[in-house]
Amino acid sequence: MLKKVFCMLIIINLLIMNIRIVNADDENEESSKSNIVEVTNQTKDEPTLNSRIAVAIDRKSGKIIWGKNENKRSAMASTTKIMTAIILIEKSDLNKTITVSAKAAGTGGSRLGLKKDDKITLKDLLYGLMLKSGNDAAVVIAENVGGSVEGFAELMNAKARELGLDNTHYVTPHGLDDPEHYTTAYELAKLADYALKNETFAKVVNTQNYTVTINGYPKEISNTNELLGYLNGVNGVKTGFTNNAGRCLVTSINREGFEVITVVLQADTKDIRTQDSIKLIEYVYENYELVNIKDIVEEKFKNWCLINKDRIQVNKCKYNNMDLYITDLDNDIIPIKKSEKDNINIDINCLYYFEAPVEEGTIIGSLKVDLDGNTIDMVEIKNAYTVEKKDIWDYFSLFAVELLN
């Protein structure tokens, strides 16, 4: 009999552990800071990451600096809450006090610790969502902003479409696994970039410790982001974990105006996601710098005009007043590998003969920016003013001048 009871206890314990693993978004365990120091002291060669999916993007240009399966769909766990937070901020009065429902209070996984009929402001729910990664907070927000979890998911998907996130779809506000709940590392980085432009969001995700008030009583919470406050320049954004998503981390970094977002998904352990994130961050800042392509292009074009502008002929024109300009670059400043900065090449092609009239804005050529043989931008060369065609009176005047001479 004792053996049977013992076996039953073991089975129940295993079932409880399994349920916890399946439903968990457990981001509240203490992270190992020793790993941060260890990785930052490693060489900054091309990173080899154990995480199955990763990306680093430059915020200024939106360009991908480094990627690994960055366009592959994946579960996203609590990085979902980036979208939950931005919907809340954009559509609600954060000072409003909310009463917690039984459904929200019963939400599993990582929790703020809310109970049925608790009173809490939307602002404190926002901090509980992004620092403590509270799934219960996410459901309270969804019910009060979207009317229900399903209604809130509609708002999330509408925002995803607005932002052009074509490989992103939401089912829940918290990110517990669902086959129809997915994104990509690249689109997650794009979403984080958008969210960080909101001052409230940026302030929240850059907060290490905060005091929420529930039913008038204070409760201290800490940010689950292990890099915040420990790695140079890190100012957000969000952690996550479920079985399908693995360990996830979206990180925002700003070092001397060079702003980067990194994403790692499907890491097997928290240590791996921490190390992979640091490797990627340090690789970017060690090997890349922001280069003002606009200045290089304008200087090159100016010098080209000094030599070539007078070579452009317009037949039958009143005045050959061709004044040239170039259209805007896609990005004035882009990240370029330090070792490749001297390999930037500007190639200009232009027509040199026209028949009047030449209308204002006529394309007369193109300017291409190449880096190691790859085109990174191309702009058009246009004329600034209409070059008019001679009329009969112009020809009569010329004829009269010739007679007088």
Determine which one of 78, 101, 110, 277 is catalytic. Answer: 78
Residue 133 is a catalytic residue:
yes
The CB-side HSE value for 395 (13 A sphere, CA atoms) comes to: 5
CB within 8 A of 18, min separation 6: which ones?
none
Cα–Cα nearest to 185, from 176, 196, 193, 197: 193
Q: Is 68 marked active-site?
A: no
CA distance 139 to 191: 21
- 292 burial class (0-12, 13-18, 19+ CB within 10 angstroms)? exposed
Q: Are 324 and 383 in contact (CB under 8 A)?
A: yes
The angle at the Cα of 33, spanning 21 to 198, to the nearest 5 degrees, equals 75
Q: Annotated catalytic residue: which of 31, 61, 74, 133?
A: 133
Catalytic residue among 81, 123, 190, 270: 81
Distance CA 136, CA 102 (A): 10
Q: Which is nearest to 187 in space by CA: 47, 80, 274?
A: 80
Distance CA 237, CA 225 (A): 7
- CA 375 to CA 345: how far, in whole Å? 9
What residue type is assigned to position 199 of the chain? Answer: E
Residue with tokens 């091309």: 46
Nearest to 369 by CA among 303, 309, 305, 292: 292
> 224 and 27 in contact (C-beta within 8 Å)?
yes
Run of H or E residues at 278: helix 270-287
Contacts of 225 (CB under 8 A, 6+ apart): 205, 234, 236, 237, 238, 239, 249, 251
Q: Which residues are catalytic?
A: 78, 81, 133
